Structure 1
Amino acid sequence: MQTLNTDVLIIGAGIIGASTAYFLSKQGLQVLLCDAGQSGTKASGVNFGGVRRQGRPLSQMPLAMRSHELWGQLSELIGIDGEYIRCGHLKVAFTEQDMDRLQAYNSSVASCGLDLQWLDAGQVHSRYPWLSRDIVGASLCPADGHANPRLVSPALSWAAQQSGTRLMEHCRITSSCYDGRHFQSETADQQRIQSRFVVNTAGAWAGNIAAMFGEAVPLTEIYPQMGVTEPLPSIMNVVLGVQGGGLYARQVARGNIIFGGSRAHSVTAGYARPSQQSVSMLLSRLAGLIPGIANAHVIRFWSGVEGATPDLNPCLGPSSTTPGLFHGFGYSGAGFQVGLASGEVLAQLIATGNSPIPIEDFRIDRFTADSGKL
């Protein structure tokens, strides 16, 4: 059995794993980035592409704000713009009760620097005449936006490689243990990897890696369902969300409107396909939000597989059982925007032992009986 030696083994080459590899390689560490499939083709490459801070819980705001800074440097980091646009994120309300919830949220994050703007019904209809007349109010975060995950996630892996990372695709880790000095990990194709550190960024499959080190996490699979229309005249100048969930949408430069908000049907663990029932529900919601595109042709539906935690917060930081092991998973369908800062945090923890971003709420052991959080 061939043995590969490296400073850091990263399991999972999505946006968080690739970001971690990039920042570690920039600091001179030897990094091996492994993925069971191809880099950036799971949830990191097939998600909606929203790059928003609005709507995130207060505990995630420091991470989201740092990521916002890094997104502003995207071209410098990965060599392309990734179709990243800061067009604003508009969250709309259809009822007075949802308006109250939106305003309560805005008050709770007032000190975070989001520059949220409250719009009443008249202002919404004046600025966005293509939206439903049933909307009673909205909150605008003007510097949020969207990007193309099919470009950004693979480009991060490329940038990491340019900085010295070694990428191994179709390399599934079947076992890993810590011998007191090094991690000994084995792959499905009979290779052994010896490393000083292991980073678990395996997405929906990260619970299996954590279990190898005695860290049981109540991680469940979710299957966000999305669709895309034919190219349409440009009408949307903002990313849309609805208070209470159920629908989100954005329009790209080519005119296609990308939308989502329902759940696909799970065929078997790790896989999903569009559900006829949820497709019909999603199309009805979209037509209700943007009446002018009710007759537009939808050219494709798809889904991805993401790992979700009970509190919808990620597991980010050091292992509770094993020195040198770090986790970054469980983003519950909202990891694309914070992926860059998550990778930076993990790299800082490995290289220096600390990070300026508070991550106490993201401890992996918070779900255990003795954590005090059950």
Structure 2
Amino acid sequence: MKERISTDVVVVGGGIVGASAALFLRRLGVAVVLLERDLCGSRSSGVNYGGVRRQGRPVAQLPLSQRAHMIWAQLPELVGGDGEYLRTGHLKIARSESDMTVLERYRDSTRDFDMGLQLVTGRALRERCPWLGAAAIGGSLCPEDGQANPRLVSPAFAQAARRLGADIREGMRVDEVGHDGSGFVTRCGAALEVRSQFLLNCGGAWAGAIAAQFAEPVPMQSGHPQMAVTEPLPFFMDVSLGVEGGGVYARQIARGNCVFGGGRGYALDELRARTSSAELSHLMQQAVALVPRLREACVIRTWSGTEGYLPDRLPVIGPSDNTPGLLHAFGFAGGGFQLGPAVGAVLADLVRYGSTETPIGAFSISRFFPGSGTIPVGPAHFATAATQETP
């Protein structure tokens, strides 16, 4: 028999965004059911590089990123573990004088966000990171940015939400969503039907299909970032690395393994992706040029995943343009791991209070539909009172 239940909020997608939303909704006393097709955190939220950085983000993302930065500092209290989160610093490398000019302009444009960016060149760079190759001529250091283990962090948000009373349903593929005039109806085949006042579309690279069902098709494409990890090496790399202009990123974990990424893999099917041999070869050449100690390292595993990319490389976050109670959060273009907890908190704000103090106007879905106007969210009224403020 089909199970039929009612709740305040249905969250579609159990990645770090959806799971964080479920956690913060429960902290506000809101009833929530989370539906995840696989296991929570098993898709892009659990197979990404693990960078937790603010540096390098578009200025429009920085208020959200700053809120996330504060939430990451509370990780043990929120989810019951540290997820191997460390504020190691993030060093963005310049390989030319023009790169240094870009880094300097970025520092100047972001002074209001108090990231403490430090430009380093010449002897200062070599003393700070003697293991860097000659390709690096300078860089920008954000001392409080860092890294974490996505395989631990992303599922931990879902587990924490479940401990607070969220109804977390894994292995539940959403086959049909709609609004019957009184609320949302979400169906998972013959197994489950959930009615709710709100629907949170947090389905990652597959969220566009849900948006389209509510007449909000967006030009989102799938991409497949690729990563690799080496055998354990003597510890030497004490910061997470990026490169101005892209190409390669790298970090070393406490056990000694070096994780690095860059380039694009390819899709095997709708759900699976694989690394490209040619792209991996190019990536390894770039990694060795940046960090020569990797030349003799043995790569023990490579992997890819699936992420959603919109043309402007900005996410969609916030209310539907035409359906009251529908909230979107998707299209993070490979940068959603650090932002995820703050996006979840913002969604909880919108559900509980009808607004949020964190600026998200740049991420409205209405930017794809000129002349439209976003529908106000609320505020909503729930049977259960809020019991705890969201971060």
- TM-score normalised by the chain length of structure 1: 0.98
Separation of aligned partners in 2, 1:346 and 1:83: 26
Contact 2:134 2:289 survives alignment (8 Å): no
Task: Give the secondary-structure state (helix, strand or coil) at the position aligned to 1:8.
Answer: strand
Contact 1:91 1:240 survives alignment (8 Å): yes
Separation of aligned partners in 1, 2:3 and 2:89: 50
Cα RMSD of the aligned pairs, angstroms, is 1.1
Deviation at 1:261, TM superposition (A): 1.0
Deviation at 1:2, TM superposition (A): 2.9
Instruction: Please say if 1:102 is aligned against 2:117.
Output: no
Q: Which runs of 5+ in 1 are unaligned?
A: none
Instruction: Please say if 1:16 is aligned against 2:43.
Output: no
Deviation at 1:369, TM superposition (A): 4.1
Q: Which residue in the other structure is 1:253 paired with?
A: 254
* Residues paired across the two proteins, number: 372
Q: Which residue in the other structure is 2:339 paired with?
A: 338
Separation of aligned partners in 2, 1:368 and 1:9: 25
Instruction: Kindly provide the CA deviation profile for residues 264-308 of structure 1, in whole angstroms up to 9, marking residues without a partner as x.
Output: 022233321111101100110111001122010000000010111
Report matched runs for 1:155-304 at 5 Å.
155-304=156-305
Instruction: Please say if 1:149 is aligned against 2:146.
Output: no
Q: Which residue in the other structure is 1:306 paired with?
A: 307
Q: Which residue in the other structure is 1:129 paired with?
A: 130
Separation of aligned partners in 2, 1:264 and 1:197: 36
Q: Which residue in the other structure is 1:54 paired with?
A: 55
Q: Which residue in the other structure is 2:383 paired with?
A: none
Contact 2:50 2:148 survives alignment (8 Å): yes
Deviation at 1:29, TM superposition (A): 1.2
Equivalent AA in structure 1 for residue 157 of structure 2: L
Deviation at 1:146, TM superposition (A): 0.2
Separation of aligned partners in 2, 1:221 and 1:271: 12
- TM-score normalised by the chain length of structure 2: 0.93
Contact 1:121 1:135 survives alignment (8 Å): no
Contact 2:316 2:329 survives alignment (8 Å): yes
Equivalent AA in structure 1 for residue 253 of structure 2: V
Equivalent AA in structure 2 for residue 77 of structure 1: L
Deviation at 1:371, TM superposition (A): 5.8
Instruction: Kindly provide the CA deviation profile for residues 144-185 of structure 1, in whole angstroms up to 9, marking residues without a partner as x.
Output: 000000000011100000111011111111111112221111
Separation of aligned partners in 1, 2:291 and 2:39: 36
Contact 2:321 2:372 survives alignment (8 Å): no
Separation of aligned partners in 2, 1:282 and 1:260: 7
Equivalent AA in structure 2 for residue 231 of structure 1: P
Task: Give the secondary-structure state (helix, strand or coil) at the position aligned to 1:151.
Answer: helix
Q: Which residue in the other structure is 1:113 paired with?
A: 114
Contact 1:234 1:251 survives alignment (8 Å): yes
Equivalent AA in structure 1 for residue 361 of structure 2: E
Further displaced range: 143-152 or 175-184: 175-184
Q: Which runs of 5+ in 2 are unaligned?
A: 374-391
Equivalent AA in structure 2 for residue 241 of structure 1: G
Contact 1:125 1:133 survives alignment (8 Å): no
Separation of aligned partners in 2, 1:236 and 1:181: 56
Deviation at 1:122, TM superposition (A): 1.8
Equivalent AA in structure 1 for residue 267 of structure 2: S
Instruction: Kindly provide the CA deviation profile for residues 338-365 of structure 1, in whole angstroms up to 9, marking residues without a partner as x.
Output: 1010000000000000100011000012
Deviation at 1:235, TM superposition (A): 0.4
Separation of aligned partners in 2, 1:43 and 1:189: 27
Separation of aligned partners in 1, 2:19 and 2:122: 42
Identity rate of aligned residues, in percent? 48
